[in-house]
Amino acid sequence: MRPLLREECLRKPEDLLSSYADSEQDDTEYVLMQMQKSRESLAKSQRKFTEASSKSHWNDDNIIPSTSKR
């Protein structure tokens, strides 16, 4: 563990900032990628729900008869 500490102390401040910026960019890219996957998954689920709803044979009139049809 000692060599790692020494190596860290010998780094230039610019290198540390660059490394930090790279890490921040990687984190941002990861979060954006996860958000895109979530949007795609949600869209897929909504399509399935819409398709299932449109294929359904039951509608509100069949479940609860309206008074105007009597």
The dihedral through the CA atoms of 15, 21, 23, 29 has a sign that is: negative
Q: Rounded distance, CA 58 to CA 65, Å?
A: 12
| H-only helix segments in 56-70 | 60-63
Q: What is the pLDDT along the chain (70 residues), one digit of tens a residue?
A: 455 555 556 666 676 667 777 888 899 999 999 999 999 999 999 999 998 888 775 555 555 555 555 4
Separation of alpha carbons 42 and 36, rounded Å:
10
Rounded distance, CA 24 to CA 12, Å?
19
